[in-house]
Amino acid sequence: MSEPLLTVENLNVLYGDYQVLWDVSMQARAGEIVAVLGPNGSGKSTVLKAIMGLAPAKSGRIMFEGRDITRVPTHEMVALGISMVLERRRLFSAMTVRENVLLGAYHRSAGKEAKSRLEWVEDLFPILAERRDQIAGRMSGGEQQMVAIARSLMSKPRLLLMDEPYLGLSPRIVKQIAGIIQRINQDGVAVIFNEQNVQLSFGLSNHGYLLEGGRVVLSGTGQEMIGSDVIRRVYLGV
Ligand SMILES: Nc1ncnc2c1ncn2[C@@H]1O[C@H](COP(=O)(O)OP(=O)(O)OP(=O)(O)O)[C@@H](O)[C@H]1O
């Protein structure tokens, strides 16, 4: 099997005196979709934020493509090949769709590369090309999520972190976003996302982790996770 793209080893994260993650270890291989499931407050977002350098690692190690990135500042993460779609999108609501998307390419030369990337991204989301001059803040939640994903893809990441990508979206849009995640993945981008719904988490993921109280209590393939006793009993009520 190929070397892992990302390895999180015994990660401990504290906010002040309050410990949120306890000895969390995870892996993602190139081209995989990895889901992190857990109840509210279990630390799912914090795992993604810690990888991105947005939450302080007290101890433990995060390796990406063989390099220790535990203390790499967030603004350098994008250049290394990791990008994140924040929960609730965080768009510049007064700017247009196109302006928001192009912001994701800020560290790349504005020339040819950004242009071909924009073509790829607008091919993934044709609606963003159609609406490129619309003010982002006036779009629906699903459309804003597409803008946020498109923006994070502009930096050509090899790993995309998605914080609750389905939050607050209708079933129809959820299906559409799930299709887009698969498509991004088929184009060679590994994806780690977190979610509270079992089917949405593990239905399309190669690997999954269950977090409870800041600890990984279960891991396995997507199918193993869906079939596991704990998940069936606690999350599916069977
Ligand atoms: N910046 C912060 N400062 C202090 N405590 C925080 C901070 N961010 C999160 N926490 C706390 O850390 C714990 C884990 O939060 P986190 O957001 O990672 O959980 P989560 O599993 O993603 O939950 P949710 O599904 O509600 O987003 C929670 O108890 C939360 O209140």
Q: How many CB atoms lie within 10 A of CB 158?
A: 17
| pTM given for the model | 0.92
What integer pLDDT is reported at residue 139 of this predicted model?
A: 86
Angle at 46 between CA 92 and CA 166, to 5 degrees: 55
Beta carbons of 155 and 104 less than 8 angstroms apart: yes
Per-residue model confidence as pLDDT tens digits over 120-178: 888 888 888 898 898 988 888 888 999 999 999 998 899 999 999 998 889 999 999 99
Ligand 1: residues whose CB is within 6 Å?
A: 15, 18, 20, 38, 40-46
CA of 148 to the centre of ligand 1 (A): 21
Phi, psi of 86 (to 5 degrees): -75, 155
Domains and CATH numbers, the chain: 1-81+163-238 (3.40.50.300), 88-156 (no CATH)
Q: Is pLDDT at 108 greater than 60 in this prediction?
A: no
Per-residue model confidence as pLDDT tens digits over 71-90: 999 989 998 999 999 776 67
Q: Is pLDDT at 200 greater than 60 in this prediction?
A: yes
Mutate to test the pocket of ligand 1, among 11, 13, 19, 20 (most ligand atoms within 8 A of CB): 20
Which is nearest to 221 in space by CA: 231, 234, 233, 235? Answer: 231
Average pLDDT over the chain, rounded to whole? 89
Give the pLDDT band of residue 231 (cuts 50, 70, 90).
Answer: confident
């979610």: which residue's tokens?
195
Structure tokens at 177: 């976003």
């071909």: which residue's tokens?
116
Question: Tell me, what DSSP letter sits at residue 237?
Answer: -
